[in-house]
Amino acid sequence: MSTTIRKSAITPGSILLYGSLFVLALFFLMPAYMAIVTALKDPATISLPTAWELPDKFNWGSFPQAFKLLKSNIASSLVLTVCATALSTVLGSLNGYVFSKWKFKGSELIFTLFLFGMFIPYQVILIPLFQTLRAMNLYGGLPGLILAHVVYGLPITSLIFRNFYAQIPTALVESARLDGAGFFSIYTKIVFPLSIPGFVVTSLWQVTQIWNEFLWGICLTRHEDNPITVGLAQLAGGQAVSWNLPMAGSIMAAFPVLMIYIFLGRYFIRGLLAGSVKE
């Protein structure tokens, strides 16, 4: 019995496709190349005509200097991202659980109105948000910024969990009710153990959005609590800038999210696809 191995033929279309992808990849990697090259140069050698050239001697000192200047911002971003992500994912999970398995009269209308928050731009609610946080005595610190990101992230996390929980058989929940299990018992013993893919998706989404957010960080926090994105902007501000430091800082700021997607990206895709196909 012979086995036929079918080889894909090289066609002009495939050459054009992969050539275009290669050019696009180079185009999107240009900023990363410029950041790395500039961060490794001595400040005296940084100039526009030689911006593309590799340094004659690597200056690794830019990274510890940038870290020293940004360490308080990095700490603020870590606290902000971890707390806001944890709260928004847990509350989103509970919302999705309610809207999928504990429906009540008018729940679909409330859920639809609830999702409108996904389409409200940051800039539209900035002034009302500022006034609300100031009235609650939360303006200027991390607790207010955490609250803002939790509330703003609830629509998308609730939607993801609601769609995910819709694939759990309702008969399983009904059986647990007949056995005397309550709302939280069913959630902790049945629903939550099945929610890992959903938590991966929502956590990665929230981490990316919160860590990279700039507008609320600069408008709703004071200097000592500014997140990393605001610290980078301040590091690059002024008329005389040592560009190796902002570039080194941008690399450090991008590194955590990049590592998360490198090591957990496949779980993010699996979580997005989980429950998308009904058997």
Burial 16-49 (b: 16+ CB within 10 A, else e): eeeeeeeeeeeeeeeeeeebebbbbbeeeebeee
Close Cβ partners of 92 (under 8 Å, ≥ 6 residues apart): 153, 154, 156, 157, 158, 160, 161, 202
pLDDT in tens, 178-217: 888 888 888 888 888 888 888 988 999 999 999 999 999 9
Q: What is the DSSP letter of 221?
A: B
Predicted TM-score (pTM) of this structure: 0.85
Q: What pLDDT is stored for residue 279 in this prediction?
A: 45
Return d(Cα 196, Cα 204) in angstroms, integer.
12
Q: What pLDDT is stored for residue 154 in this prediction?
A: 92
Q: How confident is the model at residue 76 (pLDDT cuts 50, 70, 90)?
A: very high
Which region among 226-230, 231-235, 268-272 has the lowest average model confidence (pLDDT)?
268-272
pLDDT of 10 > 90? The answer is no
Long-range contacts of 125-131 (CB under 8 A, 24+ apart): 126/215, 126/216, 126/219, 129/216, 129/220, 130/219, 130/220
Q: Which of 207, 249, 220 is CA-nearest to residue 72?
A: 249
Return d(Cα 60, Cα 58) in angstroms, integer.
6
Q: How far is CA 177 from the centre of its chain?
A: 36
Q: What pLDDT is stored for residue 2 in this prediction?
A: 46
Residue 224 contacts residue 72 (beta carbons within 8 Å): yes
Return d(Cα 250, Cα 67) in angstroms, integer.
10
Q: What pLDDT is stored for residue 5 in this prediction?
A: 47
Q: Residue 140 forms beta bridges with which residues?
A: 221
Return d(Cα 190, Cα 200) in angstroms, integer.
18
For the residues of 100-159, what is the DSSP string, one character each? HHS--TTHHHHHHHHHGGGGS-TTTTHHHHHHHHHHTT-TBSHHHHHHHHHHHHHHHHHH
- Report the helix count and the strand count for the chain, using DSSP H and E: 11, 0
* Rounded mean pLDDT, 31-37: 91
Cα 148 to Cα 24, 105, 238, distances in angstroms: 36, 29, 30
Close Cβ partners of 113 (under 8 Å, ≥ 6 residues apart): none
Return d(Cα 8, Cα 263) in angstroms, integer.
30
Which region among 37-41, 138-142, 236-240 has the lowest average model confidence (pLDDT)?
236-240
